[in-house]
Homo-oligomer: A and B are copies of this chain.
Amino acid sequence: MTATLTKYHRLRNDVIRHLYYNKMLTLTDLSKLTHKSLPLVTGIVNDLVQDGYVVEHGLAPSTGGRRALTFLLNKEKQKFIVAVSVDQLITTVVIYDMLNNIQVEPAKIYLNLADEQTSMALFISFITGYIAKSGISEEQILGIGIGMPGVINAKLGVNHTFFKIKNEGNLKNYLSDALKFPVYIDNDSSLIALAELKFGEGRNMKDVMVVNIGWGIGLGMIINGDIFRGHSGYAGEFSHIPLSQSNKLCSCGKRGCLEVDTSLLVLVERAKAEIAAGISSRLEQLFLDDSKLPGEHFLIAARDGDPLAVSILSDAAFLIGKGLSTLIHILNPELIVLGGRGATAGKIFMAPIQHAINEFCIPRLADHTKISVSASAERSELLGAAILVVENCQFN
């Protein structure tokens, strides 16, 4: 009895998930998406309508024959998702509903991940406080999804790099206990890729690479329609393949890594050096303003066309393009998306990256991979964190 119950519930959850991704679906659509028969799906959807989770929404446009009924998630009986993005310096939290609308305005805190001791306690009180202030009742919250840097085993819920728990402890369980909600964690770049796959440029594609341009450079890989992590979770160490002629030593102990020349922190350093050397730039003023991090100022200046910022960013973009060429040769992806905080500088990246790809790629290969800038760079890690919850939680 319990086994059939869980199987029934698994399909029920699956139906809800497909409605979450696709907004409006017919029974035939759902049958195809879940690979289950129509009578079975019909039964499940009828139950969901009865329970108030799903509502009928009129007839689908004609496709030649009898018009089908469409179904939506019910706005009135809502569940909510807490989505958190943690990076080296800034932690952001937001609450979404199941229609991807922001339910509670995002909140931000400056939190240096390197301070292991203080940051964990601060993090927990920040999130707890935010949820409490939101006024949403406990039963309505499906869970908390957290994207963070580091080598992460999402299934086990372990982060091998940051927020380490004593004696091989499980971060996911630790946080679930502390926050009193189901917690799901995953790597930031993987979540950005997930967001692009489900709601962004990569919809309905199978092989998509998402470059996470942040304080460092990350790579989220979608292969065969799923997040790819490699054999031991280290896949996508894109920023440490030897590329540049640069002699600077990387934190990984090697020279010529992409990271050394393209991370936002490095670009800021370079801008400061240029300014110190006498180059004039709006940045000189902006850097004095402490309300934002220098990296944030840098991106704003670049977006606004400041020549120094644009020039530094272009050099970095060319190197990233060289790295992408290697990626294209090996994986022949359908799409490469430039995402992450840095992608808010948008189009500035495109020209030098294309330039590099033209120079380093076999044309036949370059022609088969589209490059684009994420349309929702700032939001996509949070969105990915929300998807993480929807993918893993239970709807009862």
Contacts and interface: CB of A to CB of B under 8 A. Distances in A.
Interface of A: 205-207, 219, 223-224, 226, 228-238, 240-242, 252-254, 322, 325-327, 329-334, 360, 362, 364-365, 368-369
A327 B230 CA distance: 11
Contact of A332 (B232, B240, B242, B330): B232
Given A207-B231, A360-B254, A330 B327 contact: yes
A236 B327 CA distance: 10
Contact of A231 (B240, B253, B334): B334
Contact of A238 (B205, B229, B240, B330): B330
Nearest to A363: B253
A223 B234 contact: no
B230 A331 contact: yes
Nearest to A238: B330
A194 to B, nearest CB: 17
Say how many copies of this protein the assembly contains: 2
Given A223-B228, A224-B228, A365-B234, A330 B333 contact: no
A149 to B, nearest CB: 15
A231 B333 contact: yes
Given A223-B224, A237-B365, A332 B231 contact: yes
Contacts of A331: 228, 230, 235, 330
A241 B329 contact: yes
Contacts of A232: 332, 334, 368
Nearest to A256: B360
A237 B330 contact: yes
A326 B241 contact: yes
A231 B252 contact: no
A241 B325 contact: yes
Given A237-B362, A241-B326, A242-B326, 11 more contacts: A219-B330, A228-B331, A230-B332, A230-B333, A232-B332, A237-B329, A241-B329, A242-B322, A242-B360, A253-B362, A254-B360
A240 B329 contact: yes
Nearest to A367: B232
19 contacts: A207-B231, A219-B330, A223-B223, A223-B228, A224-B226, A231-B333, A231-B334, A233-B332, A234-B364, A234-B365, A235-B330, A236-B332, A237-B330, A237-B365, A241-B329, A241-B330, A253-B362, A254-B362, A330-B331
A234 B327 contact: no
Contacts of A254: 360, 362
A236 B369 CA distance: 14
A68 to B, nearest CB: 23
Nearest to A209: B330
A157 B241 CA distance: 35
A180 to B, nearest CB: 35
A206 B226 CA distance: 14
A74 to B, nearest CB: 34
Contacts of A240: 329, 362
A331 B233 CA distance: 9
A327 B205 CA distance: 23
Contacts of A326: 241-242, 326, 330
A339 to B, nearest CB: 17
A11 B242 CA distance: 48
Contacts of A234: 332, 364-365, 368
Contacts of A230: 207, 331-333
Max chain B CB contacts within 10 Å: which of A205, A237, A329, A365? A329
A223 B232 CA distance: 13
Contacts of A369: 231
